Amino acid sequence: MNRNYYTTLWIVLILSLPFNMNSQELARKGSLGALLGPVSQGIQSQTQAPSTKGTYLQRVIPNTTAASIGLKAGDIVLKINEETIKNTQAAVQIAKTFVADQKVKVEVWRKGKRQTLSGRVKGKPIEQSPVAQIVYDAVPFEDGMLRSILHKPKADGHFPLVVFMQGFDCGSIDAYYDNAGPIRRMVDGLVEKGFAVYRVEKPGVGDSNGSLDCGSIDYDQELAAFDTALGELKKYKFLDHENIFYFGHSLGGITAPILAAKHHPKGVMVYGTVLKSWHEYMHEVHREQAIKRGDDFIRLDANTRAVAPLLAEFFLMKKSPAELAQNPDYLALMQNGIMAFENDRLFGRHYTFWQNLNDHNQAEAWKEAGVHTLALYGEYDLQAISGEAAENIAALVNTYHPGKGQYMIIPETEHAFARVPSMEEYVQMRNSGAFNRQYMTQNFNKDIVEILSEWMLNLLQES
């Protein structure tokens, strides 16, 4: 999905002792302790920064490494331990190597000049919740382990479970840094309705260890990681294993039906996803998002036409970025940001991830899953482009499994579950930087919790 209009990466990276009896197998890692985002042209202009390189500190989390060395919201990080920061992903990769009590030096752009701050890495805290008991655990995978986090109601009994499957990026699902963020609001809301909620990190993300790295693996390896995590659920005796639901957000809405075809949960819920092949989606997104952004029609038409053969060779002929770059026309497209490969990665994932993803037949997966399905679309979801995919998912399910598919639009809601006034104003807010973590937290659409829980409870009552 278009990198410039994708949800800002929310990255926080710190280190502490294991949390509970299950987590001794997987220790906490180090982190910076700040919410990071790209340095947009608007931010560059406001701060008079030398360029759009670096990463922008949206918020510094109290009692973390960032706070202890004096980083402040509004800083632009230029270097960490003498390594130049090109973008947010680069900062994430460096911070992944942090260990407790390690010396750290950060160069920032602040108030029109460069400053250098230094100190030591502090330990990472854990998620807190007034309504849930939180279990930090580990899932053995390949030669390492994946961090899992399970929220359950603070009560005895057997609880139906929602497995949350996140989108494409390599950001952490461990929201210790923001207990009031959109995902945590959703998780706690479902717990209050009587559901347990399970999340698992991707390989190499958060506390996860081993030789695999999220940005280097293909889609099948990521799929295998989620599949392995689902197999670990049987050890939790407080779960109602006959009533497990999957919730797929964004690209997680592709993963959910593929795994549902194997495991056959009680039901699947998806939000802001696609049904077409990724090749078709990528071609479509160049035109449709540009229209919604208000780009010049002649230029966007030219760009869409120009990128079509590149996409065909990338997805269908499975050419590498190096092979594509041998064509001068393709190289120009890659260099001007239309298809911005960086070190064999596209949108932070290895190019084979996208090619492998394109191989999967989503329609076939939905047919084979054969489970009750709720397909949701936020009215102003720029990433999913339109509600066509959700509507078609429900129709497909009903074709092969009559009565099991349902489609619903959630009014005035964007991709990350926040209410926004209109698509036009949403685009303007993203361009200006007004659409940020604080806005999303304050404008989280609670209706999503009501819609999901009501749909699941109705199914539970019917069974």
For residue range 226-257, list pLDDT tens digits in order: 999 999 999 999 999 999 999 999 999 999 99
Dist. CA 320–CA 4, nearest whole Å: 23
DSSP string for residues in 417-458: SBB-S-HHHHHHHHHHT-SSHHHHHHTB-THHHHHHHHHHHH
CB 354, CB 315: distance < 8 Å: yes
The pLDDT score that the predictor gives to residue 8 is: 30
pLDDT beneath 70, residues of the chain: 1-24
Instruction: Name the CATH code of domain 132-276+359-462 (choices 3.30.465.10, 3.90.79.10, 3.40.50.1820, 3.40.50.300).
Output: 3.40.50.1820
Please determine, looking at this structure, whether the domain spanning 3-120 carries the CATH number 3.30.1340.30. Answer: no
Q: What is the pTM for the complete model shown?
A: 0.81
Residue 113 CB partners (closer than 8 Å, separation 6+): none
The pLDDT score that the predictor gives to residue 336 is: 81
| Domain ranges for the chain | 3-120, 132-276+359-462
For residue range 10-20, list pLDDT tens digits in order: 223 222 223 34
The pLDDT score that the predictor gives to residue 463 is: 75
